[in-house]
Structure 1
Amino acid sequence: MKNSYNPSPQIATNIEPVSRPLTLNKTSFVQRNCRVFQARESWDRLFDEAYRADVEIHTDSHDGVIYGHASILGFASPVFRSMFKKSRTKHQVLIHGVPLEAVRTFIRFLYSSCYEEEQIEEHILSLLVLSHAFVVPQLKRECEYQIEHRLLNVDNVVDVFQLSLLCDAPRLGIFCNRFILKCFDAASTSAGWKAMRASHPHLEKKLIVSLKNENNRRKEMTRKLTERKVYLELYEAMEALVHICRDGCRTIGPQGKMLKEEQEPCRYKVCKGLESLLHHYFGCKLRVPGDCTHCKKMWQLLELHSRICIDSNVCRVPSCRCVSLIFYWIL
């Protein structure tokens, strides 16, 4: 017998659709990495073998010629592109003032966007200049990062500072400026500093002015921190004085009340010293002539409290109302 019961499907409402979980295919990930590696290897082979190269790059060393492809170099650098537009025949490029290996590392980067650590450490300054001159921002950012985090030292900081101004690298210039100020004695005796003094004396004056401004800024910061510390100590002393006279603490009870035998630990660090000062103030025989330094300190605290007290009529600090009236008539 055929069952005639056919339940109707239940329709869910007010349920947001849930996206399928992301699946990570490890095999495809490895294959993708292999393809990237193979592509970079192919670009390196194209540069090394110079297959159908139509560009010759010469340097001052005359040790060799670097061959390249105008289409690749023009695509990677707008400067190369504008140079190659002038003629469609075999091109020759002259790069002066830079070692041959630095130029080779630079051209290889234009092909594969890769570099070797040893090469960039050895020719970092030359690569910074080349990346700026031929407008290769990716390599320029990498050079700035490597200099800031790994390769900057006392011997080359002055040279890097000058190059940062020439290569329009303001962040690197600020970084070098701060580095020089931190180790000014060592940097000012380096060979780079002497060369800068001979070629760009205005930069030396600029750094000396920066050093003076930095010293003044540190002195001002130290002064403000000292003032802040004094203000915090005075504030805590005022709070502790009101606490002693109003609630009682340790050996001094509140006015008109007995001192509690069991007391909680006081949260004011200056209470102990302030209580000793109060005991001395009320029992000192030299208080009236004004020869006691401890009484002078206590009087200064009472004076300060009376100046900032909101309502001296109900205040329980000793002599608060009297001191307020004295200053009222004086002022």
Structure 2
Amino acid sequence: MRNSADCNSFRRWHEAGNEFVPPADVQIVTSGGRSIPAHSAVLASASPVLEKMLYRCRIGLNSQRIIQILGVPCDAVVAFIQFFYSSRSVLSSREGEEAMERYGIHLLVLSHAYQVKWLKRGCEEGVAARLRAEEVVDVLKLAKLCDAPRLYQRCMRLVAEDLASAVRSEGWRFIQRHDPLLEQEILQLVEDADQRKKRWMREMADQEMYQQLSEAMESLQHICTVGCTVVGPHNGEPPSRSKGPCSFRTCEGLQLLIRHFATCGKKLSPGGCIHCRRMSQLFQLHSSICDQSDSCKVPLCKQFKSKMQMDGKVDKTWRLLVKKVVTARVMSSLAKRKGPEEIQKTWLRYTGTK
């Protein structure tokens, strides 16, 4: 029954508006009693279901086969058949967009029922692009029935983004009465999406903290090695604030902490000073990362390394923090470098890979 050459000929005749198109040998009857002429070669080539129906259908007047396509508006059936006579690119044309706007849901049902895969994919995309929150529950139910996973995922995402609008819809009240399993599935997905969002926000906050600590380590090294404004060594030159703002965001705050740490009289008292404890933790973090303890000019670097060697064990939480800060430092260094060789050298340096 299928003949792709005949189908292509019909398509070319149709698109060119040729008046000598071969006479139709099929009549498609719709729910409204409308009869649509078509060609068996085109129908059979487009749909395996229609091909089987053509074998079994009855013969009417003028020896024409008669098949029925019921359950959808007549104009939707006309649009469905017209797609068979056009190239697949018609979906992105103005006519295709108009048909999808008017009959997208009906075309999705027809393309699923008659196994027109290329049209079904286009309908999934078209319906998903025009989806509104107030109708999303109805479309979600339809997506499940029509085995349309892309549309189903789009519906679920829209429900998760605007559950309040979906709950106010008639479709939601319908599934509450008749499909509690689908209602539970939607609510579970919304809860999972909310948990993923919260987890992502926590991870982003953690990454920002690790990035700030990494920059603080670089700033601390910078202050204690070359000096910045009035803090740190200045190679015999008098300290000055005329250098202008530092490129490190954390530099100014660190300078304040260092000056406070140097003069605070409470850091050795019971309970200590919260600012001094914070500075001490930064010194300890630097010591855990530093690989130049013999020549390092950062205060307490060597002392903290000796203490860790004497204790033998390092707290797992602290070890994880050090690892995260080192990773953030590596990623920051890689982002600043352009050449692949420099990226590889930086990565090998921090991972210790040979």
TM over 0.5: yes
- 1:97 and 1:198 map into 2 onto residues whose CA distance is 24
Which secondary structure state, in structure 1, belongs to the residue aligned with residue 247 of structure 2?
Answer: coil
Do the aligned partners of residues 139 and 319 (structure 1) sit closer, same or farther apart at CA in structure 2, a change above 3 Å counting? closer
Among 55, 67, 80, which residue is 1:93 paired with? Answer: 67
Map 1:175-194 onto structure 2 (within 5 A).
175-194=154-173
Among 27, 47, 67, which residue is 1:77 paired with? Answer: 47
Aligned partner of 2:261 in structure 1 is: 281
- 1:304 and 1:171 map into 2 onto residues whose CA distance is 48
Task: Work out whether residues 55 and 68 of structure 1, in 8 Å CA contact, stay in contact via their aligned partners in 2.
Answer: yes
Aligned partner of 1:40 in structure 2 is: 15
- The reply to whether residue 111 of structure 1 matches residue 91 of structure 2 is no
**Structure with the larger helix share:** 2
Per-residue deviation at 1:89? Answer: 2.6
- Residue-by-residue CA offset, 1:151-182 (whole Å, 9 max, x unaligned): 21112222222222222322222222212211
- 2:29 and 2:120 map into 1 onto residues whose CA distance is 22
- Aligned CA RMSD, in angstroms, stands at 2.9
Aligned partner of 2:101 in structure 1 is: 121
TM-score (norm 2): 0.72
Task: Work out whether residues 128 and 151 of structure 2, in 8 Å CA contact, stay in contact via their aligned partners in 1.
Answer: yes
Among 43, 55, 79, which residue is 2:26 paired with? Answer: 55
Gaps of 5+ in 1: 1-35
Per-residue deviation at 1:94? Answer: 2.9
- Residue-by-residue CA offset, 1:207-250 (whole Å, 9 max, x unaligned): 21211111111111111111111111111111111211111111
Do the aligned partners of residues 133 and 282 (structure 1) sit closer, same or farther apart at CA in structure 2, a change above 3 Å counting? same
- 1:308 and 1:273 map into 2 onto residues whose CA distance is 21
- Residue-by-residue CA offset, 1:2-27 (whole Å, 9 max, x unaligned): xxxxxxxxxxxxxxxxxxxxxxxxxx
Task: Work out whether residues 56 and 67 of structure 1, in 8 Å CA contact, stay in contact via their aligned partners in 2.
Answer: yes
- 1:225 and 1:112 map into 2 onto residues whose CA distance is 49
Per-residue deviation at 1:71? Answer: 3.6
Task: Work out whether residues 31 and 71 of structure 2, in 8 Å CA contact, stay in contact via their aligned partners in 1.
Answer: yes
Question: How many percent identity over aligned positions?
Answer: 37
Task: Work out whether residues 27 and 38 of structure 2, in 8 Å CA contact, stay in contact via their aligned partners in 1.
Answer: yes
Task: Work out whether residues 255 and 316 of structure 1, in 8 Å CA contact, stay in contact via their aligned partners in 2.
Answer: no
Aligned partner of 1:143 in structure 2 is: 123
Task: Work out whether residues 57 and 66 of structure 2, in 8 Å CA contact, stay in contact via their aligned partners in 1.
Answer: no
Structure exhibiting the larger radius of gyration computed from Cα positions: 1
Task: Work out whether residues 59 and 66 of structure 2, in 8 Å CA contact, stay in contact via their aligned partners in 1.
Answer: no
- 2:122 and 2:84 map into 1 onto residues whose CA distance is 13
**Corresponding residue pairs, total:** 290
Task: Work out whether residues 44 and 108 of structure 1, in 8 Å CA contact, stay in contact via their aligned partners in 2.
Answer: no
Do the aligned partners of residues 274 and 112 (structure 1) sit closer, same or farther apart at CA in structure 2, a change above 3 Å counting? closer
- The reply to whether residue 215 of structure 1 matches residue 219 of structure 2 is no
Gaps of 5+ in 2: 1-10, 313-354
- 1:269 and 1:111 map into 2 onto residues whose CA distance is 65
The range that moved more, 299-308 or 231-240, is 299-308
Task: Work out whether residues 286 and 292 of structure 1, in 8 Å CA contact, stay in contact via their aligned partners in 2.
Answer: yes
Which secondary structure state, in structure 2, belongs to the residue aligned with residue 312 of structure 1?
Answer: coil
Among 295, 303, 309, which residue is 2:276 paired with? Answer: 295
- 2:301 and 2:47 map into 1 onto residues whose CA distance is 79
Task: Work out whether residues 157 and 187 of structure 1, in 8 Å CA contact, stay in contact via their aligned partners in 2.
Answer: yes
The range that moved more, 67-76 or 152-161, is 67-76
- 2:194 and 2:112 map into 1 onto residues whose CA distance is 34
